[in-house]
Amino acid sequence: MNPVSPLQQAFDLQYLASRQHLEVPAMLRKERLLRVQRMLDEHGPVLTAAVQADFGIRSPQLTEFADLLVLRSQLKQALRRLERWMRPRHVWTPLHLLPARARIERQPLGVVGIIAPWNYPLQLSLGPAITALAAGNRVMLKPSELAPHTAAQLAAAVEQYFAPDEFCVVQGDSYLSSQFAGLHFDHLMFTGSTAVGRRVAQAAAVHLTPTTLELGGKSPCILASDCDMAQAALRVAHGKLLNAGQTCIAPDYVLLPRGQEAAFEQAYRQAVAQLFPRIVGNPDYASIIHQRHLVRLRNLLQQAQSLGAQVQVIDPAQGQQAAAPGWGDAAQRQMLPTLVWNVQPTMTLMQEEIFGPILPVVPYDRLDDAIAAINAGPRPLALYWFGKDEKARDTVLRRTVSGGVTVNDTLLHVAHDNLPFGGVGDSGWGAYHGEQGFLRFSHQKAVCLQGRWSAVQWLYPPYGARFDKIMALLRRWV
């Protein structure tokens, strides 16, 4: 007999516990959420330092803002609204089923698996876990192997606050991730690339495990001719360069009214200089996570140039700033922001999600052309619109499909706790955050309660004249 692997043992422990304790009261759920809150309060600095160690250069303030603040907001909302989310929903009963009553009960699914990415390794690990715990589930978390320091600290912190049959963290490489995806979870959530998401979905399908896939794609940013160019450029630059572009909802490319190329270039350069007076040696500007990813980004630029693209590198300090001593190769991975012009659809740059500080700019003549360009590709995770014309804005909203939208800014919809966050098509399926996430990780059980007397009995066989008369009446009322 083959020995049971530690991964399988960890899953079996949670699976058995979930089946033995089907009812998870609100008090226990809140207590678990409060443990997560205490974990963040007590281990926040250590976790932040681990994220910085994984990137080489990443501002602790960025982690506090983009990871920990988001998690604290999610915890606050879940603790405040949990009992309301758990409450059974009574629904209207149709005439022919009277006097029955009906309701929908929200139950835990059981064991939820989470495969998290490296780019926001705290938010995208613990955020889904918070939602799954609020829904009464057990949680197994697999952090990214590209953020090993964060994974190790998460594992130690979770082990301190949770029993392994409640919440555990497993560490390992991509091979372990594939084994993890093949476990018989009650629900599996994956955040990462579309290519890996396909493999995760295939592994989960063996057990008919339902999945939530939070993927990526090429999120467009449309600038209208009436937008405030300076303001738009600053907000686009912030969304693009946050975490050095390593954000799944970062603006991937800009659709710009033809004739405004020079104005946008100047405004974008000024915006970059305002946000990051220097790039190399700036502790506020994150490094690319790994040399392999940096090589990929450089190859994208080289291939685009070979096909006729114009590449404009933006260095506000003009090479006059050096990295601090001891930063090693992390400073070499601080990739300069780059604009790319004269791009073509055949370029890899315009076919793959960029996930770095490279911003292609695509001129358009009419709004219809911009919409057609978006609809010609896979449906994106996010879409951004900058302009003052509400009619044009609503046209874009009606005629495009994306996971989410922010108007006259970037990224904000993902930070709104009352909005569902998720993709559509190639950018993923299933949404979480807030009550939508609670429902995603819950089973909505239909319950119909019939009384001693039932109108349905009139429709029992044998069928005859009485049946026909009743059906004639029902056809008029239903």
Find residue 254's DSSP bridge partners: 221, 361
Q: Residues with Cβ < 8 Å from 7, sequence gap 6 or more?
A: 170, 176, 179, 180, 183
Q: Residues with Cβ < 8 Å from 398, sequence gap 6 or more?
A: none
The rounded distance, in Å, linking the Cα atoms of 238 and 232 is: 10
Task: Give pLDDT, residue 3.
Answer: 65
The rounded distance, in Å, linking the Cα atoms of 260 and 216 is: 28
- pLDDT tens figures, 14-25: 999 999 999 999
Q: What is the mean pLDDT of residues 138-164?
A: 97
Q: How confident is the model at residue 38 (pLDDT cuts 50, 70, 90)?
A: very high
- pLDDT tens figures, 91-113: 999 888 889 999 999 999 999 99
Residue 325 predicted with pLDDT over 80: no
The rounded distance, in Å, linking the Cα atoms of 185 and 467 is: 47
DSSP string, 328-380: THHHHT-PPPEEEES--TTSGGGTS---SSEEEEEEESSHHHHHHHHHTSPPP
Residue 473 predicted with pLDDT over 90: no
User: Hey, what are 318's tokens?
Assistant: 């003009």
- pLDDT tens figures, 60-85: 999 999 999 999 999 999 999 999 99
- pLDDT tens figures, 263-280: 999 999 999 999 999 999
Task: Give pLDDT, residue 251.
Answer: 97
Q: Residues with Cβ < 8 Å from 275, sequence gap 6 or more?
A: 234, 237, 238, 241
Other beta carbons within 10 angstroms of residue 436's beta carbon come to 16
The rounded distance, in Å, linking the Cα atoms of 125 and 129 is: 7
| 3-state secondary structure at position 287 | coil
Angle at the Cα of 199 (from 196 to 205), degrees rounded to 5?
140
Q: Residues with Cβ < 8 Å from 62, sequence gap 6 or more?
A: 242, 243, 284, 286
Q: What is the mean pLDDT of residues 143-161?
A: 97
Q: Does residue 23 contact residue 443 with C-beta atoms inside 8 Å?
A: no
Task: Give pLDDT, residue 326.
Answer: 55
Candidate from 384-398, 435-449, 464-478 with smallest mean pLDDT: 464-478
Find residue 257's DSSP bridge partners: 364
User: Hey, what are 228's tokens?
Assistant: 């405030």
Q: What is the mean pLDDT of residues 31-40?
A: 98
> Could you tell me what percent of the chain has a pLDDT over 70?
97
Task: Give pLDDT, residue 322.
Answer: 58
Peptide bond into 462 cis (omega under 30): yes
Q: How confident is the model at residue 320 (pLDDT cuts 50, 70, 90)?
A: low
Residue 2 predicted with pLDDT over 70: no
Q: What single DSSP character describes residue 461?
A: S
Kindly report the pTM of this predicted structure.
0.94
Active site residues: 214, 248
Other beta carbons within 10 angstroms of residue 119's beta carbon come to 25
Give the 3-state DSSP-derived string for 176-212, with helices as H, strands as E and coil as C.
Answer: HHHHHHCCCCCEEEEECCHHHHHHHHHHHHCCCCCEE
Residue 355 predicted with pLDDT over 50: yes
Task: Give pLDDT, residue 170.
Answer: 97
Residue 1 predicted with pLDDT over 60: no
Instruction: Indicate the average pLDDT of the chain.
Output: 94
